[in-house]
Amino acid sequence: MSGNGRDRVDIPEANGQVVGAVVGDSGLSAHEALAVVLQIRAGELCVLLWRRALPPCEGEWALPGGRLRADESLGASIRRQLAQKVDVRDLSHLEQLETRSDPGRTPERRTLATAYLGLVPADTDPVVPADTRWHPAADLPPMAFDHASIVRSGRQRLRAKLSYTNVGFALAPPEFTMSELSGYYRAALGHDVAATNLRRVLLRRGQIEETGRSVPSGRSGGRPAALFRFRSLSLQITDAFAVLRPPGQGTGGL
C-alpha cells in the first residue's frame, strides 16, 4: 500500500510483459490502444482520424483505437479495433510506437495509452466509415487529448526508419518505378528526394531489385521506366547508422 492509500497491481500481458496499474477511489486505471495509421495519398503523407461524437472533446478528431479488453494483448486489441471501427485490415506494417502515462492526458479517468504505428501501401484505398477521414499529417485539424503529439511521434518514427531500414516496402505498391518511389519518400521525409540517388542508395543496401519489366513510355517518348520491387516485405535493418538528410546537408542526403 502506498502512502496515499492506493495500491499498485501488476497485470500480466499475453506477450509476457507486465503492465502496472493503480487502484484507488476511482478503481483500476484504464488502458487503451491507439493507432497512427499513415498512407501516401495523392503525393501527401496522410493520417487516418475519426471525429468524436460524444464528450469529452466532442466534434474533435482522434486516433482510432479504444480500451483494452481483459483477455487480449495490446497488438490484438489495436488490430481488432482498426478492423471493427475504421475497417482497416490490410496494414503492410504495424509496430508499437510509445506509451503515454500522463495522469492528466484524459479528463474523466486516468487512462494509459499505448500507441502503434501502422502503414498502408499507396495502391490500396480502404473503405472507411462516414465519421472517418484521411488528413494531411503535416496539417492536422483540432484533435482530442494528446493525439496530435502522438501523430508527430509517428511521423518522426517513420522518417527515422526510412533512414536505416527497408520500411519503404510498407508505403509502396508491390512494383514501382523509381520516380514513384522517390515521390513516396519525399512525402514521408518532407524534403526532396532525387530518384537517381535513391536508386543508388537502396540498391547498395540491398533493399530493392529490378523486376525485369518496365512501364511503356508515354506520348512524349523516351526510355521505358524500369519497374522495381522490395526484396523483402518484412522489416529489416539494412544500415544501422544511416541518416537520409535533405540535399546539401552532408553524407546520406538524397
State whether 154 and 41 are in the same domain. Answer: yes
Residue 6 forms part of a structural domain? no
Which one, of 163, 165, 155, lies nearest residue 234 by Cα? 165
State whether 216 and 181 are in the same domain. Answer: yes
State whether 201 and 148 are in the same domain. Answer: no
State whether 173 and 144 are in the same domain. Answer: no
Residue 120 pLDDT class (50, 70, 90 cuts):
very high
Domain span at residue 91 reads 30-158
State whether 152 and 84 are in the same domain. Answer: yes
**Whole-angstrom distance, CA of residue 238 vs CA of residue 159:** 15
DSSP label at residue 66: E
Which one, of 33, 162, 24, 147, lies nearest residue 93 by Cα? 162
pLDDT in tens, 8-46: 434 434 344 444 444 434 456 799 999 999 999 999 999
Helix 178-189 with 147-164: angle, nearest 10 deg:
140
Cell of 234: 518484412
pLDDT in tens, 142-153: 999 999 999 999
Residue 203 forms part of a structural domain? yes
Residue 250 forms part of a structural domain? no
Q: Answer with the one of 100, 125, 158 that is the final residue of a domain.
A: 158
State whether 118 and 178 are in the same domain. Answer: no
How wide is the angle at C-alpha 52 spanned by C-alphas 49 and 56, nearest 5°? 130
Task: Write down the pTM of the prediction.
Answer: 0.84
State whether 36 and 151 are in the same domain. Answer: yes
> Which residues is 34 bridged to in the sheet?
65, 115
Cell of 253: 542526403
State whether 41 and 122 are in the same domain. Answer: yes
User: How far apart are the two ends of the chain, measured CA to CA in Å?
Assistant: 56
Number of domains in the chain: 2
**Using H for helix, E for strand and C for coil, what is the string for 27-84?**
EECEEEEEEEEEEEECCEEEEEEEECCCCCCCCCEECCEEECCCCCCHHHHHHHHHHH
DSSP label at residue 242: -
Q: Which residue has the cell 500522463?
A: 102
Residue 4 forms part of a structural domain? no
CATH of the domain at 147: 3.90.79.10
**Whole-angstrom distance, CA of residue 54 vs CA of residue 59:** 8
Residue 221 forms part of a structural domain? yes
State whether 69 and 91 are in the same domain. Answer: yes
CATH of the domain at 197: 1.10.10.10
User: Highest-confidence range of 25-39, 122-136, 169-183, 222-236, by mean pLDDT?
Assistant: 169-183
Residue 69 forms part of a structural domain? yes
> Which residues is 215 bridged to in the sheet?
225
Q: Is the pLDDT of residue 219 over 90?
A: no
Instruction: Give the helix ranges, DSSP H, for the chain.
Output: 74-85, 147-164, 178-189, 195-204
Q: Answer with the one of 130, 158, 186 that is the final residue of a domain.
A: 158
State whether 50 and 154 are in the same domain. Answer: yes
